[in-house]
Amino acid sequence: MARTSPTEFFRQVRVEMGKIVWPTSRETMMTTLMVVLLTGTLGIFFFGIDTFFGWVVKMLLGLATGGQG
């Protein structure tokens, strides 16, 4: 494996950093909004599923214990 001098390494880093395309502030805000909306929607969805299955388990346990408890 060829060794790279520190000077050459930092030169290559600068060249690669010049290739980076940074998002605009509008793109950043839109992406942030989408992430917040989707995580909120999924949170509500999984809360509903969890509540439903909790209810099902309680009903089944109630049947198994004869309805007492």
Question: For residue range 26-55, what is the model confidence (pLDDT) as tens digits?
Answer: 999 999 999 999 999 999 999 999 999 999
Distance (Å, whole) CA 50 – CA 62? 18
Phi, psi (deg, nearest 5) at residue 21: -110, 110
Confidence band, pLDDT 50/70/90 cuts, at residue 66: confident
pLDDT higher than 90, residue 11: yes
Q: Is the pTM higher than 0.85?
A: no
